[in-house]
Amino acid sequence: DAGVIQSPRHEVTEMGQEVTLRCKPISGHDYLFWYRQTMMRGLELLIYFNNNVPIDDSGMPEDRFSAKMPNASFSTLKIQPSEPRDSAVYFCASSSLGLAGDTDTQYFGPGTRLTVL
């Protein structure tokens, strides 16, 4: 089975530009998470979805950040306008809850390294 897929793997953009990060969760998983990782703050949960519905977006830093999950196999994280302090690695992870024998382990994608100049 394919794992969590993220694109692009690397993104370099200029301040003020719109950035869209994409994620395809593991098939059958009903939870999807977006994390941001920086040296200063470590791994931070930005938002997560259950069955395509946003459950908790309290970690989204500002209104410049938005996330959508139009269907069970696709999610986007958008930053508009981007700023240099948004430079980080953004991870998408997915998990399932309630399946027999499942431990709701979150499986991570390879991440998108974002650099905002």
Residue 60 and residue 115: Cα distance in Å, rounded?
A: 18
Using the rule CB under 8 A, which residue among 73, 74, 76, 108 binds another protein?
A: 108
Select the span of 16-24, 64-72, 77-85, 98-106 touching another protein (CB under 8 A): 98-106
Is 42 near another protein (CB under 8 A)?
A: yes
Three-state secondary structure of 31-100: EEEEEEEECCCEEEEEEEEECCEEEECCCCCCCCEEEEEEECCEEEEEECCCCHHHCEEEEEEEECCCCC
Q: Mark 9-38 with x for binding to another protein (rule: CB under 8 A) and - for no binding.
A: ------------------------x-----
Is 74 near another protein (CB under 8 A)?
A: no
DSSP code of residue 23:
E
Q: Which residues contact 94 (CB under 8 A, 6 or more apart)?
A: 4, 25, 26, 29, 31, 32, 33, 106, 107
- For residues 1 and 18, which CB has a smaller minimum distance to another protein in the complex? 1
- For residues 25 and 111, which CB has a smaller minimum distance to another protein in the complex? 111
Is 45 near another protein (CB under 8 A)?
A: yes
Select the span of 16-24, 45-53, 62-70, 72-80 touching another protein (CB under 8 A): 45-53
